[in-house]
Amino acid sequence: MKRIKKRRAFELCWNERRALAVVDSPFAVGLKYAFHDAESSRLVLVIDLMMGGDLKYWLSQHKCFGFEASRYYAARTLLGLKALHDRDFVYRDVKPENMLVDEHGRVRLSDLGLAEEPASPRRRTTQVHSELKGASGTPGYMAPEMLRREVYDHRVDYFSLGCMVVEFIVGVCPFRTRDAAHWGGRKKKKKKKKQDTEDRALRKQAKKEDARANMARAALEMAPDLTQDVWKEGLGPAAKAFCKALLHKDPSKRLGSNGVKDILDHAFFGGLDLDEVLADAVEPPFAPGKAINAKDAESIGDFASLGDDVPLSDGDFDTERWNYVSPDAYQAEVVWLLQWEEEKRGPRTRVEAVAEKASSACVLS
C-alpha cells in the first residue's frame, strides 16, 4: 500500500493512478484499489504486494547478475514497457530500484509516477500537452535527447533499459561510474583551513549537484565502458551488441526505433522462449521467499513519520475521480471470503447443502 500526502507531488499521484488503472499486465504492478482517507487526509493506492524487494537491493547483495538472470530481467522489463507503450505511456524512470520482485522471483515495473502520455492519434483532440520535453527521471539513466531538452518519445525508455542491463552485468550503471561523475568537471584544490559543519554540508551538497551535472554530460558525450572481460564470455558478445544498440545517442538509430519487435528479436534473447516468459512459464533465477527483503527498515518506510498533512480546498481534489476498485481484485476477495467462511463453518449436513443450493447463488461477473 502506498500512502501519499495530497499536497506533495500531487500531479505525480494522478499520473500513477491513471497509468496503473489502464495498464493491465503481469509485468507491471497492478492497482487493486484507490481511495481518499479523509481522516488522515491522504491518497491511498493499494497495489500488488511484492515481498522480494527490488533489483537494486539484490544487486547490492550479488554485486552483479549472470547473463541468464540479466536476460530474464531485461525481457520482463521490456514486456512491462511494451504494456505501457501500447497504452501511449512513456515510463521515463527505468532503473533497478523500480523493478520489484515477488516472492517467487518474478519482477514487475513499479512507481509509475513519472509515466506520461505524449500526443497520440487517438488522443490529440483531448491532450493538452501535445509533446514530451525536458529532463525527467534519474541522473545516469536519462536519454541524451531528454537531456538536450528535445521532444522525445518512448525510445528514452530503451536507452534507460540499456543502462540497466549494463548494470545487471557489470554491477554499475555506465553513466553513474566514477569517471562519469567527474566527466567534464574541474578538480578544485582543497582548502587547508578547517571548515565548520555547515560549510562541509554545503560543499557535500554542491559536490552531489556537480556529480549529477557531470553524469548528464557523460550520457551526452561519453561512450559506455564495455571493455570488461565479462563481455567476452558466454552471452557476452551478444549482450555487448545489445547494450551498445540500446545506448545509441541518436534515438532514430537506437535499437527499438522501428518497434519493440526489433529488440525482442535481438540475438541477446536467442534461446529464451518469450512466449513462455509471457505465460510466466520460465523459472525465475531465484525465489526470495516471503521474508521482507530490504537493507533496513528505512527502505520500507514508516507511515507515522510522514509529517503533518496539508488540507486542500474542495475545488482542488475530486474524490470520485480518484476512487477506484479493480473488478478482478474485488471478485477474488469475494471468492476468498466465501472459501474462508466455508472452512470456518466446517462440514455441512446433506440437508443443509441441498437447501443452500436451491436458495442461493453468487454471481461474480
Hey, where are the domains in the chain?
51-174+224-296, 326-359
Q: Which three cell numbers stand for residue 290?
A: 516471503
User: Please, what sign has the CA dihedral across residues 351, 352, 353, 356?
Assistant: positive
CA dihedral 343, 347, 352, 358 (to 10 degrees): 50
Cα diameter, the chain: 92
72 and 7 in contact (C-beta within 8 Å)? no
Please provide the CATH number assigned to the domain covering 51-174+224-296. 1.10.510.10
161 and 81 in contact (C-beta within 8 Å)? yes
pTM (two decimals): 0.81
3-state secondary structure of 37: strand
User: Please, what sign has the CA dihedral across residues 100, 340, 365, 319?
Assistant: negative
- Structure confidence at residue 252 (pLDDT): 97
Please pick, among 93, 102, 111, 157, the residue that the annotation labels catalytic.
Answer: 93
DSSP string computed for 270-331:
TT--HHHHHTT-SPPS----SS---SSHHHH--GGGS-------GGG--HHHH-EE-HHHHH
| Residue owning grid cell 518519445 | 153
For Cα atoms 140, 101, 229, give the angle at the middle one, nearest 5 degrees: 50
Q: Which three cell numbers stand for residue 39?
A: 481522516
| Residue owning grid cell 513519472 | 114
- Structure confidence at residue 310 (pLDDT): 46
Whole-angstrom distance, CA of residue 265 vs CA of residue 271: 11
Q: Which three cell numbers stand for residue 149?
A: 531538452
Q: What is the mean pLDDT of the chain?
A: 82
Q: Is the pLDDT of residue 323 over 70?
A: yes
Q: What digits encode the pLDDT tens for the residues 115-142?
A: 998 754 444 434 444 689 888 999 999 9
Q: Is the pLDDT of residue 10 over 50?
A: yes
Q: What digits encode the pLDDT tens for the residues 155-209?
A: 999 999 999 999 999 999 999 999 999 997 655 445 545 555 557 766 677 778 8
The torsion angles phi and psi of 250, rounded to 5 degrees, stand at: -95, 110
Instruction: Based on the residue annotation, tell me whether 93 is a catalytic residue of this protein.
Output: yes
| Residue owning grid cell 529532463 | 135
Residue 42: pLDDT band with limits 50, 70, 90: confident
128 and 146 in contact (C-beta within 8 Å)? no
| Residue owning grid cell 553513474 | 176
